[in-house]
């Protein structure tokens, strides 16, 4: 059996933070992509949205979500200009806590539209902690060659990590 | 010490024509857990059906599941008890000419043991309709050696991809 998981690239944000974390020139030799995120954003709030786009494109996205925050459960849709993958910790949440996300991108080189999913949490040992399941669609048949994580120009904080894996089907 | 591969692709089926079901047979008992990733769509008109599985050809009423979902902005849950197959997620039905696809990720735990009943956790991603997290149970102590996958209301469409992965302990 072939090894199914291969680490393609990993970024750890350095001192001063980074407004965007990008995986570019993604090899087209895998079948699916998985991204593991441990991140915290400089937004002045408890949480920030984990937002990302592919191929530098900001059109033709749709997202569905189900989310719990410790007191209520909600569901719905979000923006059409990006993938929304839940809420991660931001600058006013308890220090040293980073949000976690597990993102799955199947058949990223295929000729269909691209459907992605993510499980994301922002624990806080206080109010305003979130668990979010999302499912996004990019209505574009292009192969995914780059991925960029950003939050409106606000930095991902130091020690945030983003790791991209490729998986094979054989 | 060199580490062995822990996540391996066991088999993949890509449909060259529509099919009522697909089967993974002769599953080796050498892993600790299994994962099925199903990417694609059903064949009928726009909506969604039930992606369902049977283990070892068992069509007895030995399956049950709990569904947690978001659907059109409404969150809800559903129980299925004493079923003749295991509901693992909804699955997009879209027809022949649409490039929209959904995907489901099905985790099957401790599948080879002959002592306990078998449990599953699955994520359903059905754009633009639903996001789901589901649990399932097969009330059998038999080791799982084959898995049949189908959709309740439609053939599975051409181009759909089903991959079975095995996870090994360290």
Q: What is the 3-state secondary structure (H, E, C) of A26-37?
A: CCCCCCEEEEEE
**At residue A79, does pLDDT exceed 90?**
no
Strands of A13-145, DSSP E: 20-23, 32-39, 47-54, 61-68, 73-77, 83-89, 99-105, 114-122, 130-138
**At residue B106, does pLDDT exceed 70?**
yes
CB spacing of B103 vs A141 below 8 angstroms:
no
- Contact, A73 vs A66, CB < 8 A? yes
Q: Where does the pLDDT of residue A126 fall: very low under 50, low under 70, confident under 90, or very high at 90 and above?
A: confident
Please tell me which of the candidates A5, A62, A65 has its beta carbon nearest to residue B70: A65
Give chain A positions within 8 Å (CB) of B123: 117, 119, 133
Q: Where does the pLDDT of residue B4 fall: very low under 50, low under 70, confident under 90, or very high at 90 and above?
A: low
Give me the helices (H) in A66-120, please.
none
What's the average model confidence in pLDDT over B108-113? Answer: 97
pLDDT at position B96 is 60
pLDDT at position B154 is 86
Whether the CB of B164 is below 8 Å from some CB of chain A: the reply is: no
pLDDT at position A134 is 97
CB spacing of B131 vs A64 below 8 angstroms:
yes
- Closest alpha carbon within chain B to A32: B37
More confident residue, B100 or A131: A131
CB spacing of B12 vs A64 below 8 angstroms:
no
**At residue B1, does pLDDT exceed 70?**
no
**At residue B94, does pLDDT exceed 80?**
no
Question: What is the C-alpha separation between B91 and A88, in angstroms, rounded?
Answer: 28
Q: Mean pLDDT, chain A, as a whole number?
A: 94
Kindly report the nearest CA distance between residue A114 and chain B, in angstroms. 7
Please tell me which of the candidates A4, A116, A119 has its beta carbon nearest to residue B165: A4
CB spacing of A119 vs B123 below 8 angstroms:
yes
For chain A, what is the radius of gyration of the CA atoms? 16
Please tell me which of the candidates B9, B70, B126 has its beta carbon nearest to residue A169: B9
Give chain A positions within 8 Å (CB) of B101: 107, 112-113, 115
% of chain B residues with pLDDT over 70: 95
Choose, out of A60, A78, A86, A115, the residue to mutate when testing the contact with B (most B CBs < 10 Å). Answer: A115
Question: What is the C-alpha separation between A131 and A133, in angstroms, rounded?
Answer: 7
Please tell me which of the candidates B8, B74, B101 has its beta carbon nearest to residue A4: B8
pLDDT at position A168 is 85
Which stretch of B17-26, B45-54, B100-109 has the lowest confidence by average pLDDT?
A: B45-54
Structural domains of chain B ordered from first start: 7-130+139-167 (2.60.120)
What's the average model confidence in pLDDT over B155-165? Answer: 93
Residues contacting residue A78 through CB under 8 Å, at least 6 positions apart: A63, A65, A84
Q: Please identify among residues 35-54 of chain B the ones whose CB lies closer than 8 Å to any CB of chain A.
A: 37, 39
What's the average model confidence in pLDDT over B62-69? Answer: 97
- Contact, B35 vs B167, CB < 8 A? yes
**At residue A49, does pLDDT exceed 70?**
yes
For A97, counting Cβ atoms within 10 Å of its Cβ (0-12 exposed, 13-18 middle, 19+ buried), the class is middle
- pTM across the whole model: 0.93
What's the average model confidence in pLDDT over A62-86? Answer: 93
Question: What is the C-alpha separation between B53 and B56, in angstroms, rounded?
Answer: 10
CB spacing of B127 vs A115 below 8 angstroms:
yes
What's the average model confidence in pLDDT over B78-100? Answer: 88
Which stretch of B8-12, B36-40, B44-48 has the lowest confidence by average pLDDT?
A: B44-48
Q: Where does the pLDDT of residue B2 fall: very low under 50, low under 70, confident under 90, or very high at 90 and above?
A: very low
**At residue A22, does pLDDT exceed 90?**
yes
What's the average model confidence in pLDDT over A22-42? Answer: 97
pLDDT at position A1 is 56
**At residue B67, does pLDDT exceed 80?**
yes
């Amino acid at each position: 059996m072939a090894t199914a998981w291969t680490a393609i690239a990993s970024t750890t944000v350095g001192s001063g933070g980074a407004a965007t974390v990008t995986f570019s020139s993604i090899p087209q030799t895998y079948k699916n992509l998985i991204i593991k995120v441990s991140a915290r954003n400089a937004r002045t709030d408890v949480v920030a949205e984990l937002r990302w786009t592919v191929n530098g494109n900001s059109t033709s996205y749709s997202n569905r979500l189900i989310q719990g925050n410790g007191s209520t459960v909600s569901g719905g849709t979000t923006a059409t200009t990006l993938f929304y993958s839940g809420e991660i910790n931001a600058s006013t949440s308890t220090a040293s806590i980073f949000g976690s996300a597990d993102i799955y991108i199947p058949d990223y080189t295929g000729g269909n539209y691209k459907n992605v999913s993510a499980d994301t949490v922002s624990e806080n040992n206080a109010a305003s902690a979130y668990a979010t399941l999302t499912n996004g669609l990019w209505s574009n048949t292009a192969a995914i060659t780059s991925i960029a994580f950003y939050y409106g120009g606000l930095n991902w904080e130091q020690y945030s990590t983003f790791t991209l894996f490729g998986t094979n089907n054989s | 010490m060199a580490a062995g591969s822990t996540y391996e692709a066991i088999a993949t089926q890509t449909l060259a024509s529509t099919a009522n079901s697909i089967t993974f047979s002769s599953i080796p008992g050498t892993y600790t857990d299994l994962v099925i990733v199903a990417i694609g769509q059903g064949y009928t008109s726009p909506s969604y059906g039930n992606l369902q599985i049977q283990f070892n050809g068992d069509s007895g009423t030995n399956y049950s599941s709990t569904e947690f979902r978001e659907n059109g902005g409404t969150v809800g849950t559903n129980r299925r008890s004493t079923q003749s197959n295991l509901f693992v997620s909804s699955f997009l039905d879209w027809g022949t000419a649409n490039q929209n696809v959904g995907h489901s990720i099905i985790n099957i735990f401790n599948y080879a043991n002959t002592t306990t009943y078998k449990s599953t956790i699955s994520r359903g991603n059905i754009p633009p309709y639903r996001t789901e997290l589901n649990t399932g149970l097969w009330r059998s102590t038999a080791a799982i050696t084959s898995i049949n996958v189908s959709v309740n209301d439609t053939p599975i469409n051409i181009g759909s991809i089903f991959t079975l992965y095995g996870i090994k302990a360290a």
